[in-house]
Amino acid sequence: MDFTKKSCPVCTKRFTDGDDIVVCPKCGAPYHRECYETKGACIFSDLHKKGEAWHDENEEPDIESAEEADDNSIVCRRCGHKNSKDSIVCERCGDFLTDSYNSPFDDEETDEDDPLRMASPVFRTKKYHIDDIRDFAVGIKRDEDFEGVTGEELMTYVGSNELYYGPIFSSIKKRNISRYNFSTFLFQGVWYFYRKQYLMGIIISLLTVLPMAAQYVCYRFFHTNELWSEAQNSVAAGGYAYYGDYIDWIWTNCDMLHRILMLLPMVLAFIAFVVTVILAFRANRDYYKRAIKKIKTIKKKNNGKDEKEILEIIKTKGGINQGLSMMFLACELIVTVAFMFMG
């Protein structure tokens, strides 16, 4: 942008091509960097409150005729400068080129000392607000209603991985369609601990460990060494590679009690697998319902508190428990390895 026809509002000196210039991200007022650092902030706070753009009253206008504008340009109503068709603010004076534009930064405090904001055309034009970008990316609006819970409260409870759960929760609300949760399928109880669903995590983990425990107990305390040795030798000698062949041998060579005991671990393992698959289909939907229920309970118990305090409580109660989930994963691995060696 050309500032050579403008004056610094602090020292009132005309800008030159070699000047080090910074621009206020709220009103567009340019300063010599030294002048701006002396003041410590933009001096046009009244313009910030009104959402208006700064312009130099002493600037010598070089008005271009509006009739000269074509389909690919927009003429500024304030200074007459002809801008490209896609411009939002005037390249010369910084004024907005349309009356219908409402800045999302109105009444929003901006860190005017942030060099990234000062240099960024996104914040210079005030075209985007970080919350609007977040809502678009997550797929949930902050004030959107989810069975009596706002989108902001729901995502505050989620805490982590909003980009995954936001679109899923929106889909559940609008189309009653969820998504398969591969984390639940792969990590079973660990995922529930990670998402602070401790009771469910314990139940699923016990169901996962149960087949290994049943195999160890049956082989150690109910099968005779001779029977177990004969089963291993016969299966190995026959080259059995499939469960069906193994079951045929058991059914032919064992009595009913030993049939049940030798097949029990496989049956339990199959049941655990089926339950895990089903839970992975339901995990996101159940987490959505749990989040809404928990948030409603928190809001009911803290009815007299303001919104910020309630959001802080929701954030504490929700979110993730990474430490405990990692400890539980380590315990599962230790138990699994222990049963393998004991078996």
Query: Mean pLDDT over all residues of the chain?
Result: 76
Provide the residue range defining the domain that includes 96.
21-128
pTM: 0.54
Q: Tell me if 165 is assigned to some domain.
A: no
**Token output for 47:** 């313009």
In this structure, the answer to whether residues 112 and 229 fall within a common structural domain is no
Q: What share of the chain is helix, strand, coil (3-state, %, to 5)?
A: 55, 5, 35
214 touches 341 (CB < 8 A) = no
At 196 the pLDDT is: 92
At 285 the pLDDT is: 94
In this structure, the answer to whether residues 189 and 124 fall within a common structural domain is no
Most confidently predicted of 60-64, 106-110, 307-311: 307-311
**What is the tally of structural domains in the chain?**
2
CA nearest neighbour of 185 among 271, 274, 280: 280
In this structure, the answer to whether residues 206 and 337 fall within a common structural domain is yes
At 181 the pLDDT is: 92
Q: Tell me if 284 is assigned to some domain.
A: yes
Confidence of residue 281 (pLDDT cuts 50, 70, 90): very high
Q: Return d(Cα 93, Cα 53) in angstroms, integer.
A: 8
Does the pLDDT value for residue 121 go beyond 50?
Answer: no
Q: Tell me if 152 is assigned to some domain.
A: no
Does the pLDDT value for residue 291 go beyond 90?
Answer: yes
- In order of 123, 125, 200, the CA distances from 104 in angstroms are 11, 11, 43
**What is the DSSP code string of 116-159?**
HHHH-HHHHHT---HHHHHHHHHT--TT-EETTEEHHHHHHHH-
At 251 the pLDDT is: 74
Structure confidence by residue, pLDDT tens digits, 53-102: 787 766 554 444 443 556 778 887 666 778 887 777 777 666 667 644 44
When pLDDT is averaged across residues 324-343 and rounded to a whole number, the result is: 81
Q: Return d(Cα 146, Cα 139) in angstroms, integer.
A: 13
Q: Return d(Cα 1, Cα 120) in angstroms, integer.
A: 13
The rounded radius of gyration (Å) of the Cα atoms in the chain is: 34
Q: Tell me if 322 is assigned to some domain.
A: yes
**DSSP, res 73:** E
In this structure, the answer to whether residues 123 and 193 fall within a common structural domain is no
At 39 the pLDDT is: 84
Does the pLDDT value for residue 124 go beyond 50?
Answer: no
Q: Tell me if 154 is assigned to some domain.
A: no
At 191 the pLDDT is: 92
Q: Tell me if 307 is assigned to some domain.
A: yes
Q: Tell me if 247 is assigned to some domain.
A: yes
**Token output for 69:** 């504008």
The amino acid at residue 248 is: D
Does the pLDDT value for residue 326 go beyond 60?
Answer: yes
In this structure, the answer to whether residues 116 and 221 fall within a common structural domain is no
Lowest-pLDDT range, 116-120, 151-155, 279-283, 285-289? Answer: 116-120
When pLDDT is averaged across residues 279-303 and rounded to a whole number, the result is: 93
When pLDDT is averaged across residues 256-284 and rounded to a whole number, the result is: 85
* Between 51 and 285, residue with greater pLDDT: 285
In this structure, the answer to whether residues 77 and 212 fall within a common structural domain is no
Q: What is the largest CA-CA distance in the chain?
A: 106
Helix (H) or strand (E) segment spanning residue 154:
helix 151-158
At 126 the pLDDT is: 43
- In order of 6, 91, 145, the CA distances from 17 in angstroms are 11, 16, 53
Lowest-pLDDT range, 15-19, 175-179, 208-212, 255-259? Answer: 255-259
In this structure, the answer to whether residues 329 and 203 fall within a common structural domain is yes
